[in-house]
Amino acid sequence: MTSSTTTALLSRKGVLTWSAVLLTVGLTTSACQSVTPDAAAQGTPSASASASASTTTSPAAAVTITPRDGAKSVRPDAPVTVKASNGTLSEVTMTAASGASIEGELSADKSVWTATGGLKPKTTYTVTAKAENADGASTSTTSTLRTLTPKDTANYTVIPSSGVVGVGMPVVIQFVSPVDKDKRADIEKRVTVSATPAVKGTWGWLDGRQLIFRPSKYWKSGSKVHVTADVAGIETKKDLWTATNADTTFTVGSAMISTVNTQTHRMTVTQNGKVLRTLKVSTGRPGSKTETRSGIKVILSRESEHTMDSTTVGIPKGQPGYYRLKTEWAMRLTWSGEFLHSAPWSVGSQGSANVSHGCTNLSPSDAKWLFDHSKMGDVVKFVGSSRGLEEYNGYTMWNQTAAQWGQKSALAS
C-alpha cells in the first residue's frame, strides 16, 4: 500500500516536470515565430530603434576667459580674450563698473572674441559670455578683472577743444610729458578725425609731445570737424599711463590769410580770397638775433593784454636788449615769442623801417581791428626775411608738403 502510493506520487511529479519543460519550450517557440515584419511595423521595438534611443547628446560648450576670474593689477594693454570649445560664442559683453562698454572682435568661426577697446587703469571690468554646443544648449560664464594702478598719469589735451577756428588750424594731441618713440604708433592708431565735408589729411609728430593732424590743404570754410582720442590705457613711458579718452568738435570759420612783407613793411589781410586791408607794420631788425622769421605761421592764441618779457627769449634783466613791455591786442605766432600786437611806440617806423624785437608791430587802431577779425588758426605768411622758421616753433606744418609731413607719422613705412 505504501509502496504503490509512493510510485504514484513520483509518477505525478514526473508528469508535472515534463509538462513544465514542454510549456517553456512551447512559449519560446511561439515568441520567436511572432516577430514578423508586420509586427515590427506595428510598433514592436527593433534592434536599430533601441540603439538610436540610447545615443548620447553633444558635449556641453565650455568658455575660457583670459585673464582669469579675479585677476588684479592687469596691464591695460594686456589682451582680453574669450574662447569657446565644443561650441561657438553667441554673446560676449565687457563693461566697466561705470557701465561703459568695451568693443571686441569675434573670429570668423565664432570661437574667439578679443577686446579691441582700450582699458583704463585702476578700473574693474566684468566679462560675460555665452556659448552654444551643437545641440543649441547654452553655457554662460562671468568673470571680473581689475587693471593696475599706475605710478603716474600721462596727461594730454586735444586742441582745439571747441569753437570756431581758422583754416590753418591743425588738430593737436598735446602731451604734458614726451611720449617714447616706440609708444607713438599706439597713440596714433587710436586717434581719428572726421570732417564734413570730408578731407584727406595726415598725422605727424612735431616733437615727442605733439601729435598733429593737418589736412592736405587748408580746411574749407564752414567745415565741421570731430576728433576722437580713444587713448586710455597706453603706457607712454615706463610707469606712465594714459587714463582717459577724449573727443572734441569744432567749426572752421572764414578763410583769413594774411601776408607780411618785411621788406615793404606791409601786411595784406584777405578774407575768403578778398583783400580787406593793407596795414603798415614794423618787424624785427634785419640781420639781428631778433629778426622776424620767414615762413607760414598760424595764430596760436589771442590775448587782449600780454606782457612781453625778454627773459623768455634768453635776454636777462640788466643785459643789452632787455625789455618788459605791456602790450594790447596780442596774437601769438611762435612759441619763441613772435606776436602781432599794438605798438604805439613804433608808429613812426611802421611802414618804413624794421625796429622791433621780432614781433610784428601795428598801430593801436590797426591792431585792434586785426584782433577783432582774427581767430586761432588763421594763417599769416611772412616773406622777405633771411631768417628761417624752426620746425618746432609753432604750428609750422604748412611749410612742408602733405607728403613730407606724412613722413613724420609713427606709422610711416
The secondary structure of 79-124 as a DSSP string is: --EEEEESSEEEEEEEEETTS-B--EEE-TTSSEEEE-SPPPTT-E
Residue 12 has pLDDT above 50, yes or no: no
Instruction: Determine which of 86-100, 101-115, 161-175, 312-326 has the lowest per-residue pLDDT on average.
Output: 312-326
Does residue 21 form part of some domain?
no
Is residue 267 located within the same domain as residue 177?
no
φ and ψ of 41, to 5 deg: -65, -25
Instruction: Determine which of 19-23, 174-178, 190-194 has the lowest per-residue pLDDT on average.
Output: 19-23
Average pLDDT over residues 28-41: 36
Residue in 226, 341, 357, 373 annotated catalytic: 341
pLDDT at 317: 87
359 catalytically annotated: yes
Cβ burial, residue 249 (10 Å; 0-12/13-18/19+): middle
What share of the chain has pLDDT > 90, as a percent?
Answer: 80
pTM (2 decimals)? 0.79
Report d(CA 314, CA 251) in Å as an integer.
37
pLDDT at 83: 98
Does residue 142 form part of some domain?
yes
Handedness of CA 361, 367, 371, 375 (dihedral sign): negative
373 catalytically annotated: no
Average pLDDT over residues 20-25: 34
Report d(CA 199, CA 406) in Å as an integer.
15
Does residue 45 form part of some domain?
no
Picking from 237, 253, 269, the residue at the C-terminal end of a domain is: 253
Q: How far is CA 353 from CA 48, 170, 281, 337, 360, in A?
A: 110, 33, 8, 20, 12
Higher pLDDT among residues 271 and 310, named by residue: 271
Average pLDDT over residues 185-193: 97
Average pLDDT over residues 369-383: 98
Closest by CA to 325, choosing from 349, 288, 353, 337, is: 337
Picking from 253, 271, 298, the residue at the C-terminal end of a domain is: 253
The CATH number for 203's domain is 2.60.40.3710
Is residue 234 located within the same domain as residue 266?
no
Residue in the structure block whose three cell numbers are 595784406: 268
pLDDT at 325: 87
pLDDT at 311: 82
56: pLDDT confidence band, cut at 50, 70 and 90?
low
Average pLDDT over residues 368-390: 98
Is residue 89 located within the same domain as residue 113?
yes
Residue in 265, 306, 357, 359 annotated catalytic: 359
**Beta-ladder partners of 301:** 332
Handedness of CA 339, 340, 341, 346 (dihedral sign): positive
